[in-house]
């Protein structure tokens, strides 16, 4: 199989003393993994290894609040 590299980005901004906003971009280049037809569905095959490529580019936005 060919190698598969996924690049993720993270940014955060502290809005107040106990409040932070964040943004994540997962698999920025939207790369797709190669398919290994010899092991697909085989015993102990782990599809999570290339999960970032199967899902594609995704975004996560959130807030962190400290009490």
* Residue 43 lies inside a defined structural domain of this protein: yes
In a domain, 45, yes or no: yes
Please report whether residue 46 resides in a domain.
yes
Q: How many domains does the chain have?
A: 1
Query: Is 1 part of a structural domain of the chain?
Result: no
Q: Which domain holds residue 58?
A: 9-65
Quote the pLDDT of residue 15. 96
60-66 CB contacts, 8 Å cutoff, 24+ apart: 60/22, 60/23, 60/24, 60/26, 61/21, 61/22, 61/23, 61/24, 62/21, 62/22, 63/19, 63/20, 63/21, 63/22, 64/12, 64/19, 64/20, 64/21, 64/22, 65/18, 65/19, 65/20, 66/18, 66/19
pLDDT averaged per 10 residues in sequence order, the chain, 67 residues: 83 97 94 70 60 81 96
């Amino acid at each position: 199989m060919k190698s598969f590299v996924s690049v993720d980005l993270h940014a955060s901004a502290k809005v107040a003393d106990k409040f932070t906003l964040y943004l994540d971009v997962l698999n920025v280049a939207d790369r797709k993994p190669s398919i290994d037809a010899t092991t697909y569905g085989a015993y102990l095959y782990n599809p999570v290894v290339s999960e970032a490529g199967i899902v594609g580019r995704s975004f996560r936005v959130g807030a962190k609040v400290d009490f």
